Amino acid sequence: MNGMPDRLVLLPGGRMGFVELKAPGKKPQLVQELRMRQLRRLGFLVAVVDKPEQIDYVLRRIGGGDAL
């Protein structure tokens, strides 16, 4: 499906989220933005990661259920 985030993150306890991986400083394309918005409206957690140091934060958010 066009625009779907690169990774589906599945964690214990039924926690899940989507992660779009980008090169440093790069932004998602329009079709990716639209798909991420659609997924968020459906109640899924979606994040864009463009630096390795963001990974732990995103995993904590998905695992804890806090909004991104």
Q: What percent of the chain has pLDDT over 70?
A: 94
| Sequence-ordered list of residues with C-beta below 8 angstroms from that of 32, at least 6 positions apart, any chain | 3, 5, 20
Q: Report the pLDDT averaged over residues 28-54.
A: 97
What's the confidence (pLDDT) of residue 1? 87
For the chain, the maximum distance between any two Cα atoms, rounded to a whole number of angstroms, is 33
| Answer CATH for 7-64 from 3.90.1170.40, 2.60.120.260, 3.40.50.300, 3.40.1350.10 | 3.40.1350.10
Alpha-carbon span 1 to 64, nearest angstrom: 28
Q: Beta strand 15-21 with 7-11: parallel, antiparallel or unpaired?
A: antiparallel
Q: Tell whether the model's pLDDT for residue 28 goes beyond 80.
A: yes
In this prediction the pTM is 0.87
Sign for the pseudo-dihedral over CA of 43, 19, 1, 28: positive
